[in-house]
Structure 1
Amino acid sequence: MSTVRQMTTDDLFHLSSTNLDPLTETYNIGFYMEYLTKWPDLCQVVEGIDGQIEGYILGKLESSPYPPPTTPYHPSTNPDPNYLPWHGHITALTVSPRARRLGHATRLSTSLERASDANDAWFVDLFVRAENTVAQELYRKMGYSVYRRVVGYYGDGEDALDMRRPCSRDVGRGTVREGGEKICVRPEDVW
């Protein structure tokens, strides 16, 4: 049976097999170290019975670096559609091809969602490649919906879909919307 545990620096030397999918973004070691330093409890791995890393998640809690347009923040009174209130963010979530369809992605994202709820976040979001329909369907099954399309987000010019799942703080579901695929923004509009 696989176990979910907090990521360690030693795990960074054993992630290669999980990053073999061409749709998985691979980062330099400094990027992973920054996450482990700033948000260690939001970086987790799934370790198989054989000790191999079967998947991982890098997450963080953040908000836009400038104050909200209205204080206190509330989605219904926010005039800036690009302002990001306090929220959880899935930076990377990947599962090794040999360990897919075992519920690992759901277990990892649920852990980040619980931590976001415990920290009074408004929602959890993530970016997924527009061509990655398999991941989009997985996230939809987990309660995520497309908030907006970020045109040319990735280095190769491909669009990203900004998908969100509201946390319990967002009782009125004001931080999510239907039809987000039709709302297009530029990468510079996204903090």
Structure 2
Amino acid sequence: MGKVESSPDLYQFSNHYLPWHAHITALTVAPEARRLGIGKILTEQFEAAANANDACIFRVVKDYYGDHATDAQRRSEDAFDMRKSMERDVRCQHVRDDGEMHEVEPEDVW
């Protein structure tokens, strides 16, 4: 499942503002095909295809998942935010080559 959206106009002068961009929000594997590594394979293929275009970035989002589900003393898990320019971002203004080296906070991810 995916969507195309833009950051609210209110934030157009923010460093984190993004014009139209897409999100892939879910990858589903049928119950009878789970635990076979299919989700991992599909995700790896998606990453490889995106990386082949040299137009995507990954950012580590610290504590993205909020409080730890079973232990309030433990930190939550980090996540990766992946971005890839759409056709109309011809100058690739909203991606960077070394995105995996940048940590951001959850509130900075749109």
TM-score normalised by the chain length of structure 1 = 0.41
**1:81 counterpart = 2:12:** no
How many angstroms apart in 1 are the aligned matches of 2:103 and 2:3?
24
- Distance of 1:63 and 1:187 partners within structure 2: 17
Identity among equivalent positions (%) equals: 47
| Residue in 2 that maps onto 1:152 | 63
The gaps in structure 1 that reach 5 residues or longer are 1-57, 70-79, 106-134
CA contact (8 A) 2:18 2:94 kept: no
Equivalent residue number for residue 166 of structure 1: 85
Asked if 1:98 is matched to 2:33, the reply is yes
SS in 1 for 2:9: coil
Does the 8 Å contact 1:147/1:176 carry over to 2?
A: no
**Deviation for aligned residue 1:166:** 1.9
Whole-Å separation in 2 of the counterparts to 1:98 and 1:138? 17
Are the aligned partners of 1:147 and 1:178 in contact in 2 as well (CA < 8 Å)? no
Q: Which runs of structure 2 are paired with 1:6-21 in the superposition (5 Å)?
A: none
Richer in strand (by share): 1
SS at match of 2:100: helix
1:184 to 92, 103, 108: 103
Name the structure, 1 or 2, with higher relative contact order (CA <8 Å, separation 6+).
Answer: 2
The gaps in structure 2 that reach 5 residues or longer are 69-75
Deviations 1:117-164 (A, max 9, x none): xxxxxxxxxxxxxxxxxx3x4333121433421101014411111112
RMSD: 2.6
